[in-house]
Amino acid sequence: MEAQRRNRLILVPCPFQGHITPMLQLGTVLQSKGFVITVAHTKFNSPNPSYYPDFKFLEMPDGLSDLNVSSKNLVSVLSGFNINCKIPLQEALTQMVKTNGHREKIGCIIYDEYMYFSNAVANHLQIPSIILSTSSAANMLTYQAIPRFLNDGYIPLKETMLMDPVPELQPLRFKDLPFSNATDSDGLLQLISEAHKTRTSSAIIWNTAECLEQSSLAQLGQGYQIPFFPIGPMHKMVPPSCCSLLEEDYKCISWLDEQMDSSVIYVSLGSIASMDEKGLVEMAWGLANSKQPFLWVVRIDSSNGRDGIKILPESFEKTVGERGYIVNWAPQKEVLAHRAVGGFWSHCGWNSTIESVSEGVPMICQSYFGDQKVNARFLSQVWGVGIQWESDLERGEVGIVIRRLMVNEEGKVIRHRAIELKEKIEISIKQGGSSSNSLIDLINHILLS
Ligand code: UDX
């Protein structure tokens, strides 16, 4: 089905890799259905327009450029975007309507849940708006439960209850809640409550699939009056190399070409999480001890802002030789789809999670903060496609857990489940599958708004 020409959609991504990626994927999907796309982005972490020659890009002054953003100050950075970007977006869209109004209409503003100022702009201009949720439905359920936790006296969380199961949210324990280890938990709770009001938006788009989250989506749906469109995993509907803010090192693919099938453990902690120096060194020797080939992403800010590669001992490189390959940033989707990759040591960001399960790659789940803890729990306890890592990194244990996943009988069972899940996901995105049908419903929803 093709949408009418010149129906322009305004996309407002939150400027972090894990959020920009699904928004740009959504833009690519909707453009292929006939919509015209404008991406309204901050100056900070602006996407590369040359990857999207058919998109229009609109830069919003954000007042926050050149920040050293870490998980510690995300709350203030996100609040800042919501204050600083509202007027610039409103003015730019008002101008757009004046100039192009006779040739095209703005059909809808689709905004990342954390860029909620967009809803006020949409209301001001009387344009419909839709939310894109870039994390899992299970994670959103924990946010929905916050008023209940406050009411029942569970918040602030007490140290003694962290291992207890959360009522009505099994298999989560209190320690798995996204705000359980936040540095500024009050600020985070406030941000979450702002971001998770649907306001006047007409729907929520999810980068998830019913075969993964049917139960969470159904449970969540009871609390919302608006439709849900679970259309994921979107990365399976667009070309792989589309959304990276950092340069991807493709040389690792040639290295993978030389490795045996399912032999390589891929290690990456996404774009924000980092290991301290001791953890990095333990991980290095654990990889060496595992005797498995490994591809390791060590970002230039991977160890408390320092380049982790410079911290690695010289003897490590000598010990592992050709068996290990380290890059600053990998083409992750191609890596996970490579026949040589047999396991993923991950921080369990939602994008990494769905990219891995879509390829049938079993995981070692080492979550750090936020939704990663919920995802790690679902990967290991619900879908059974991962081993959860919850201790400090220690070289002996690291080597053992890698062999449990990559070599042992336990790993074979986990891999089998991962392949079954991959097959279910493939069915969802094919014509007639649940995600494919949801996409058709979403397009109709936009056209009829
Ligand atoms: C952040 C949060 O940490 C995460 O919990 C939340 O779900 C989304 O926002 P991030 O840490 O970047 O995301 O993790 P993730 O969601 O996994 O996204 C990382 C993206 O970067 C993935 O699409 C992955 O393919 C890509 N990536 C990662 C690369 O392309 N190359 C790499 O070397 C590493």
CATH of the domain at 115: 3.40.50.2000
16 Cβ below 6 A of ligand 1: yes
Residues 77 and 57 in one domain: yes
Residue 103 has pLDDT above 90, yes or no: no
Residues 211 and 335 in one domain: no
Residues 419 and 437 in one domain: no
Residues 295 and 167 in one domain: no
Residue 353, CB half-sphere, CA atoms under 13 Å: how many? 33
Task: Looking at the CA of residue 17, tell me the nearest atom of ligand 1.
Answer: 12
Q: Token digits for 421? A: 């899940």
Distance (Å) from CA 353 to ligand 1 centroid:
9
Task: Looking at the CA of residue 371, tell me the nearest atom of ligand 1.
Answer: 5
Residues 150 and 293 in one domain: no
C-alpha 205/C-alpha 387 separation (Å) is 29
Residues 96 and 222 in one domain: yes
For the stretch 189-236, pLDDT in tens is 888 888 888 889 999 999 999 999 999 999 999 989 999 999 999 999
The mean pLDDT of the chain is: 93
Q: In the prediction, which pLDDT does 67 show?
A: 59
Q: Token digits for 223? A: 């609390």
Q: In the prediction, which pLDDT does 302 show?
A: 80
Residue 2 has pLDDT above 50, yes or no: no
For the stretch 13-56, pLDDT in tens is 999 999 999 999 999 999 999 999 999 999 999 999 998 999 99
Residue 97 has pLDDT above 60, yes or no: yes
* pTM exceeds 0.85: yes
Mean pLDDT of the region 254-259: 98
Distance (Å) from CA 17 to ligand 1 centroid:
6
Closest CA to 249 of 298, 290, 203, 208: 298
Q: How many domains does the chain have?
A: 2
Residues 220 and 255 in one domain: no
329 Cβ below 6 A of ligand 1: yes
Residue 269 has pLDDT above 80, yes or no: yes
Residues 48 and 163 in one domain: yes
Which residue range is the domain that position 146 belongs to?
A: 2-242+431-448
Residues 45 and 73 in one domain: yes
